[in-house]
A and B are shown apart, each in its own frame.
Chain A
Amino acid sequence: MHWTVRFVLATAMTVVSAVAYAQDIKIATVGPMTGADAAVGEQFRRGAEMAVKDINAHGGVLGRKLALTVGDDACDPKQAVSVANQLANAGVVFVAGHYCSSTSIPASAVYADANILQITPASTNPALTDDATAKGWINVFRVCGRDDSQGKVAGDYIAARFKGKAVAVIDDKSTYGKGLADQTIKEMAVHGIKPAVHDSINAGDSDFSAIISKMKAANVRAIYFGGYFREAGLIVRQAKEQGLNAVLMGGDALVTTDLWKITGEAGTGTLMTFPPDPRGLASARAVVKEFKASGYDPEGYTLYTYAAIQVFAEAAKKAHSIKMADLSKTMKANKFKTVIGTVGFNAKGDVIGPDYVVYSWKNGQYAELKH
Chain B
Amino acid sequence: MAYFIQQLVNGLTLGAIYALIAIGYTMVYGIVGMINFAHGEIFMIGAFISLIFFVVLGVIGITWIPLALLLVLLIAMALTAVYGWAVERIAYRPLRGSFRLAPLISAIGMSIFLQNYVLLVQGAHEKALPPIITGGFDLMQQGGFVVSVSWLQLIIVGATLLLMVVFTAIIQLTPLGRAQRATEQDMTMAALLGIDVDRTISLTFVIGAALAAVAGLMVTLQYGVIDFFIGFLAGIKAFTAAVLGGIGSLPGAVLGGLLIGVIEAFWSGYCPSEYKDVAVYAVLILVLMFRPSGLLGRPEVEKV
Contacts and interface: CB of A to CB of B under 8 A. Distances in A.
B3 A217 contact: yes
A210 B7 CA distance: 6
A202 B3 contact: no
Interface in A109-144: none
Contacts of A34: 119, 124
Interface string B145-166: 1101010000000000000000
Interface string B123-162: 1111010110010101000001110101000000000000
Given A234-B225, A258-B128, A264-B130, A206 B219 contact: yes
A75 to B, nearest CB: 11
Interface string A150-163: 00000000000000
Interface in B217-249: 219, 223-225, 227, 229-230, 233
B272 A3 contact: no
B268 A206 contact: no
Interface stretch (B8-16, B250-258, B285-293): B8-16
A241 B156 CA distance: 15
Given A200-B273, A210-B7, A210-B264, A262 B219 contact: no
B14 A207 contact: yes
B92 to A, nearest CB: 29
B122 interface: yes
A199 B3 CA distance: 17
4 nearest A-B residue pairs (beta carbon) = A210-B268, A200-B274, A38-B124, A34-B124
30 contacts: A6-B123, A7-B121, A7-B123, A34-B124, A35-B229, A36-B227, A38-B126, A39-B125, A41-B124, A42-B125, A199-B268, A200-B274, A201-B273, A204-B229, A206-B219, A206-B230, A207-B14, A209-B10, A210-B11, A210-B264, A210-B266, A211-B268, A214-B273, A216-B6, A216-B145, A230-B225, A233-B128, A241-B136, A258-B125, A264-B130
Interface of B: 3, 6-7, 10-11, 13-14, 119-126, 128, 130-131, 134, 136, 138, 144-146, 148, 150, 219, 223-225, 227, 229-230, 233, 264-269, 272-274, 276-277
Given A39-B126, A207-B10, A258-B126, 4 more contacts: A38-B126, A173-B274, A243-B148, A266-B131
